[in-house]
Every structure is written in structure tokens, then in C-alpha cells.
Amino acid sequence: MERIVLCITGASGVIYGVRLLQELTKRLFVHLVVSDNGFKVIQEEIGITKEDFLKSLGNNCKFYSQHQIEADISSGSFLTKTKGVIVAPCSMATLSAVANGFSTNLIHRVSDVALKERKKLYLLVREMPLSLIHIKNMEKVSLAGGIVSVASPGFYHKPETVEDMVNFVVGKVLDTFDIEHNLFNRWGTPKK
């Protein structure tokens, strides 16, 4: 089974990371890292405690704490055998750490290793407005080979619910990794 690394940070918008986890574990083995602040935001925004979240993880998922800097996924020889790394949502602190090569936790380290090994790295940021510092950090990551995206749903598929908008963003992330899905209607296709 193919593998991928998914990281959830403490930015608002953890629904994107949780929804990605649901979709990815249907198709791949997921190595999951959730930051301490990520768990706080999961509880605040979704109402799930850390304990209940961890209990809900299925067999296609292995969890790592942000503090497990020695984890297998932090090794280039391990990471090259995955489809890459997704950080969703990606906090501005994580963006800054990745852009500046400052690895203080497992999420930063895995992202840094993805860049050095030329594996796909997708940072789904959720912040507005953006300061020049944010934009320059996005530029640095892009120039280093990463993909930076702002969680910005499209509307051509005529979303009717928040779930439709979340699915659009999640579907666009999956598209980048060539992972098949039917989370939204593509441009020019009739609504289901």
C-alpha cells in the first residue's frame, strides 16, 4: 500500500486536515503528525478531544507526536518511499519554520526532509490577510520546490454546504498527489 505523511498544525481550519485524513486512509497508509496546538484547535473547532481523536484512528494510520523528532518519517531514506507530505492546515509559524529551515519539531523536520529529497510538499495555509512576511515565506517554500496553497474554495461547482466547500479544497490537494476522488464536480461537468 502506498504511504503519505499528513501533518495537522494549530492553524484554524483543522477540518481540512481531518477531512484529508478521512479520504487518505481510504486509499493509502497515512503517517499522521498532529501538533500540540493542532489538538487544541481540533477540540475547539470540531469538538473532539485528543483522546477521542486518537481512538478514532483506523488501521491505515500511524500517529506521531510533534515531539518524536527521531521518528522514521524524519529520515530521507524513509520519506523517499512515500507520495510526499501534506501540512493541512499549515500555521504561519510552521510556514516560517519550513521557509527558513528551522526544524524544532517533527512537522518542521518532515517538511524540511521532503524539500531536500525533492518529494512533494504541500502546505495548505489558512490565514487572511497575508502580510509581506507570509508572502515572502511562501515564495521561499515555492522556490525550494514546495507547493503552497491558501484554503480557498471555488464556487463553479455550486456548493450548497460548508462540507461542499471543504471537499473542494481537499479534492484540490488530492489532485496534486494524483489521488482519485469524487469530492466535487469538475469544471464543465453537470452537478450530481
Task: Give me the percent of the chain exceeding a pLDDT of 70.
Answer: 98
Rg for the chain, CA atoms, rounded: 16
DSSP string, 113-139: HHHHTT--EEEEE--SSPPHHHHHHHH
Residue 191's pLDDT is: 64
Which one has a higher pLDDT value, 108 or 187? 108
Whether 112 is covered by a domain: the verdict is yes
Residue 71's pLDDT is: 97
Whether 155 is covered by a domain: the verdict is yes
Whether 93 is covered by a domain: the verdict is yes
pLDDT for 186 beyond 90: no
Q: pLDDT tens digits, residue range 82-128?
A: 999 999 999 999 999 999 999 999 999 999 999 999 999 999 999 89
Between the CA of residue 7 and those of 68, 71, 122, 132, 192, what are the distances in Å?
13, 14, 10, 25, 32
Chain-centroid distance of CA 7 in Å reads 5
Whether 184 is covered by a domain: the verdict is no
User: What type of residue is 150?
Assistant: V
Residue 4 DSSP class: E
pLDDT for 24 beyond 90: yes
Nearest residue to 20 via CA among 147, 181, 156, 189: 181
- Give the whole-angstrom CA distance, residue 181 versus residue 23: 8
Q: Domain holding 139: CATH number?
A: 3.40.50.1950
Residue 7's pLDDT is: 98
Whether 187 is covered by a domain: the verdict is no
Residue 190's pLDDT is: 66
pTM of the model: 0.95
What is the residue range of 118's domain? 3-176
Residue 183's pLDDT is: 86
Whether 80 is covered by a domain: the verdict is yes
Residue 185's pLDDT is: 79
- Give the whole-angstrom CA distance, residue 93 versus residue 111: 13
Whether 192 is covered by a domain: the verdict is no
Contact 113, 75 (CB under 8 A): yes
Domain count across the chain: 1
Contact 51, 9 (CB under 8 A): no
**For the purposes of burial, counting CB atoms within 10 Å of the CB of 159, is it exposed (0-12), middle (13-18) or buried (19 or more)?**
middle
Average pLDDT along the chain: 95
Residue 78's pLDDT is: 97
